[in-house]
């Protein structure tokens, strides 16, 4: 569980990023590893944060979903260049699936086109040509015509339960400020790090 001090610090920085010139302030780099230890990174969008951790959503059958099942330890990194002198927030911890009800609620809030896309995309699988994907989109548009689009069983959310968070504040001459929080059991401690 995140402490109120950690949550408040993160939320304050996120609010600054939202108010800044950053076009995608909720973008975060997600790094995962497969069963053999090969690391992959990609940008995903933060869809919520609370005392449990940082939430995002994906296709469970994608490469990322398979890696999260094989090796739940992940790293996240936010980078807000337009906040102060530049800010990074680094997060490490274990990714756990959200409850089905939580994934259902978020899925219902998505734009209908995004809902259809979740059914049509065989994420990370080989696509013969764009026309094949467009045919799949048309198929699911027809299948769900006139009714709500249910959440696909292969799609849902994860929460990253952090055990390490670092707030990195940029400064001139690379004299950055780094504050690292570490969780040991239910207790969080923090220390400064050299830049």
Non-local (6+) Cβ contacts of 81 within 8 A are 22
Non-local (6+) Cβ contacts of 181 within 8 A are 3, 6, 164, 165, 166, 167, 188, 189, 190
Helix, strand and coil content of the chain, in percent to the nearest 5, comes to: 30, 35, 30
Q: Which residue ranges are tagged as binding site?
A: 42-47, 57-58, 64, 88, 106, 110, 114, 123-124, 168, 174-176, 178
What's the number of CA atoms in the CB half-sphere (13 Å) around residue 186?
Answer: 0
Q: Which residue ranges are tagged as binding site for FMN?
A: 42-47, 57-58, 64, 88, 123-124, 168, 178
Token code pair at residue 48: 């919520």
Residue 116's SS3 state is helix
DSSP string, 11-65: HHHHHHHHHSS-S-TTEEEEEEE-TT--EEEEEEE--EEETTEEEEEEETTSHHH
Q: Which residue ranges are tagged as binding site for substrate?
A: 47, 106, 110, 114, 174-176
């Amino acid at each position: 569980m995140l402490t109120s001090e950690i949550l408040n610090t993160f939320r304050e920085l996120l609010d600054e990023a939202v108010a800044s010139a950053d076009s995608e302030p909720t973008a975060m780099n997600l790094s995962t590893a497969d069963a053999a230890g090969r690391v992959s990174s990609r940008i995903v969008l933060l869809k919520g944060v609370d005392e449990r951790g940082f939430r995002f959503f994906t296709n469970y059958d994608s490469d990322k979903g398979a890696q999260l099942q094989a090796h739940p330890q992940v790293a996240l990194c936010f980078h807000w260049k337009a906040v102060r002198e530049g800010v990074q927030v680094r997060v490490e911890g274990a990714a756990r699936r959200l409850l089905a009800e939580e994934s259902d609620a978020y899925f219902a809030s998505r734009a209908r086109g995004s809902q259809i896309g979740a059914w049509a995309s065989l994420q990370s699988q080989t696509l013969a040509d764009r026309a094949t994907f467009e045919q799949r989109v048309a198929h699911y548009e027809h299948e769900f015509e006139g009714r709500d689009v249910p959440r696909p069983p292969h799609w849902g959310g994860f929460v990253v339960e952090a055990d390490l968070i670092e707030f990195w504040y940029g400064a001139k001459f690379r004299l950055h400020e780094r504050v690292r929080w570490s969780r040991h059991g239910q207790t969080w401690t923090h220390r400064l790090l050299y830049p």
